[in-house]
Amino acid sequence: MKTPSKSFPVKNNPDKDLEGICVREMQLALDISQSTTSQHLSILEDAGLLSSKKIGGFSCFKRNEAAIKQLADYISNKI
């Protein structure tokens, strides 16, 4: 998800780097059920590591870079 346009080639959403990746695209790429994908994304969103946005009838997610950096800094200081 760091570089969505590379990991998820442009199909219907040329602005993936700005808008995020839709659940369906991730589900297909990961080859897991939609419900499992949504559960994992919900956990990451609840932790503040992802943000979501509704686009039409789709939920799209993108990384929260500030929160990810904060977590990485915390981990590196504790190890």
Helix or strand or coil: residue 53? Answer: strand
Q: How many domains does the chain have?
A: 1
Query: Beta-carbon neighbour count of residue 28 at 10 Å?
Result: 13
Q: Give the CATH number for residue 57.
A: 1.10.10.10
pTM score, whole prediction: 0.75
- The 8 Å CB, 24+ separation contacts for 37-42 are none
**Interval 2-59: pLDDT, tens:** 665 566 555 555 555 667 899 999 999 899 999 999 999 999 999 999 999 998 888 9
Domain that holds residue 53: 4-78
Task: Give the angle subtended at the CA of 64 by the CAs of 58 and 69, to the nearest 5°.
Answer: 160
Q: Determine contact, residues 63/48, Cβ cutoff 8 Å.
A: no
Return the residue matching tokens 């570089």: 3
